[in-house]
Structure 1
Amino acid sequence: MTQTRPPERAEQRPTEPPSPRRKRRRLGSDLAGWGFVLPAMVIVLGLSLFPAVWALVLSLQDWNGFATPEFIGTDNYSRLMSDSEFWDAVVHTGLYVALFVPASVLAGLFLAVALNRKIRFIGLYRTAIFVPFVASAAATGILASYLFSPQYGLANNVLRAVGAPPQGWLEDPSQAMVVVAIMSLWGQAAFTTVIYLAALQDISPDLLEAARIDGASRWQTFWRIVWPELGPITVFVTIWQTIGALQLFDLVYTTTRGGPLDATKTIVYFLWEKAFHSLEFGYGSAAAYVLFAVTVLITAAMVIYTRRRNTEAF
């Protein structure tokens, strides 16, 4: 009877410590990497982290930009909670978000589906859709002022031509925010279109072919296959457009300046007016941090809800 011997373990050699030359080479490589990264890091931190910390400090002070800052604690936040002008700005911003975000998501989805096909000049159509997105807010505001001017605007000229009464548009408090949302949609729907178009082209053709072989119609294919695949993208663009809508300022500044009768004064325009027009930098900074807190809460709530629905995009 033979007895098998267990295989002998290979003798482990002690690892030699790295030589000084190797240490210097690794240190030089690390320093070279940090040399490339450090300038961009300084710029990013200088333009984001430092202003954020400074704004937080200012929100606890009373400062007009010239006199010595006076620490007042949370008085600016208490003042905001009882400021009717601030709450009006909150309502206007909420109205804009309700008008703009669903419309931009649905318009982007519709345009992406329409452009996701092989037709003649499709590249030209896709480029034309994206052009308004790269236009500046000043150009968009000038175009809106021309199109929706009650006196000589193109919109009222068309209404007169068909026998309809002209409208006040940007000079009517009940219509001004709707016009701002329409012009924002004209410029921002291209973003959601591009995102949805990329997601549509990423869907496996085998799934669509299998659905066609099984006899599914185009409508059934879209709702049973395409739409579930676009769930995470829909979450992403909804959150992105909501954050952008809460920060609306440039289009209001170039068109209505918060009017008429403060009907388009948003939160960002309110804090800009308080900080840079009334020179209440502490009060404006407090409004900015309230907006930041609301944005974080809305984003976190949407992410948590979508993760529970297994459609998260983050």
Structure 2
Amino acid sequence: MPSRTVKRRQGVLSALTGWGFVAPATVIILGLSIFPALWAFVLSFQSWDGFSEATWVGGQNYAALVGDADFWNAVSNTAGFTLLFVPSSVLLGLFLAVALNRRIRWMGFYRTAIFVPFVASAASTGILSTYLFSPQFGLVNNVLRVLHLPQQGWLDDPHQAMLVIAIMSLWGSAAFTTVIYLAALQDVPSDLIEAARIDGANRWQTFWRIVWPQLAPVTVFVVIWQTIEAIQLFDLVYTTTRGGPLDATKTIVYFLYDKAFHALQFGYGSAAAYVLFAVTLLITIGVVVFSRRRGSEAF
């Protein structure tokens, strides 16, 4: 009995010691993520400008979103960006990973160079975007001028601004998909590839019949991740166009930021944020369920 009591006390002390180490991080996580999320959910049912007393309005904020043309314009812009960005980032990442999955000279340098844009800040990417695509002094228009080709409006053109945002986002995030695919390619059993080559399969047949099925679960993860990134686009828009020109690049996140921190409609902005959360959650669940039915689940 005494030995059991001692062991029990040691177990309790060990557990308390562990909780003591994780408690500060737990408090920080709860304070900076869980609590603000719950508060924003409550705010989505209120009308509050940050100064006066909040008033309960029920579901009026959500109902107002349905008839808000600015909100649907932001939804349309976000959907268009997602359709541009996600397939391009997946295909480019896969192409670069296949190209880098071999033994050639300076391979370490190439891999590092591709990954550098991913760790660059949004501010630096925005400054680079302005330097490249400014209609007045941008490098791209200067090259077009030298080639005697018509110059473009780029960031000042409502029909081209979102394309520029997609290109720069692709430049910054292709490294992520490349690294994920590169790690997956290195896990493909070499025996399968060698057996396919012995059977007479060419490179395309080997990739499509042997390698691609091994990459399907990773592709599901990459598609979900990149879709979430696309839906949450904000920083690059903020540092380049601020939602312009003519709201052509105003995304859902920039819309709720504008409503909450410019118009001081914190309840309305919180409602838009939770609509965004619900849509993201539904898309993620849908892709996961579909992939599991196809036998290529990643989770």
When normalised by structure 2's length, the TM-score is 0.98
Give the AA of the match of 2:18.
G
Give 1:49 deviation, angstroms: 1.1
Runs of 4+ with >4 A deviation: none
Helix, strand or coil for the counterpart of 2:200? Answer: coil
> Which residue, out of 69, 86, 93, partners 1:84?
69
The answer as to 2:174 corresponding to 1:189 is: yes
Aligned to 1:10: none
Aligned length: 299
1:240 to 217, 220, 225: 225
Q: Structure 2 CA distance, aligned partners of 1:296 and 1:17?
A: 52
Q: Return the offset for 1:263.
A: 0.3
Q: 5 Å matches for 1:6-25? A: 19-25=4-10
1:5 aligns with none
Instruction: Return the structure number with greater helix share.
Output: 2
Alignment of 1:128-147 (within 5 A): 128-147=113-132
- Displacement of 1:111 after TM fit? 0.3
Query: 1:17 deviation in Å?
Result: 8.3
2:151 to 166, 175, 180: 166
Q: Aligned partners of 2:198 and 2:37: how far apart in 1?
A: 56
Selected match of 2:276 from 291, 298, 309: 291
Indicate the residue corresponding to 1:52 in structure 2: 37
**1:263 is matched by which residue type in structure 2?**
A
Counterpart code for 1:213: I
> C-alpha separation between the residues in 1 aligned to 2:208 and 2:235?
37
**Cα 1:211–1:32 shift into 2, 3 Å:** same
C-alpha deviation, 1:72, in angstroms: 0.5
Residues 1:110 and 2:95 aligned together: yes
Q: Provide the rounded CA distance (Å) in 2 between the counterparts of 1:287 and 1:18.
A: 59
State the partner residue of 2:259. Answer: 274
**For residue 11 of structure 2, what is the aligned residue in structure 1?**
26
Structure-1 separation of matches of 2:19 and 2:3:
22
Q: 2:206 aligns with which of 221, 241, 254?
A: 221
CA shift digits 1:8-55 (9 cap, x unpaired): xxxxxxxx6863222211111111111112221222222221111000
Within 5 Å, which residues of 2 pair with 1:200-219? 200-219=185-204
**Secondary structure of residue in 1 paired with 2:242:** coil
Identify the residue that residue 74 of structure 1 maps to in structure 2: 59
Match of 2:165 among 164, 180, 194: 180
| Cα displacement (A) at 1:92 | 0.3
Q: Distance in 1 between matches of 2:294 and 2:7?
A: 52
Gaps of 5+ in 1: 1-15
> How far is 1:270 from its partner?
0.3
Q: 98, 102, 105: which one pairs with 2:83?
A: 98
Between 1:16-25 and 1:149-158, the stretch displaced more is 16-25
Quote the residue 2:242 is aligned against: 257
Offset, 1:187: 0.2
Q: Which amino acid aligns with 1:172?
A: D
Letter paired with 1:70: T
Q: Deviations over 1:221-268 (max 9, x none)?
A: 000001110000000000000001000000000000000000000000
- Amino acid of the structure 1 residue aligned with 2:159: S
- The TM-score with structure 1 as length reference comes to 0.94
Cα distance in 2 for partners of 1:44, 1:269 equals 25
In our comparison, the structure showing a higher alpha carbon Rg is 1
CA RMSD of the aligned region, Å? 1.0
C-alpha distance in 2 between matches for 1:90 and 1:274 = 15
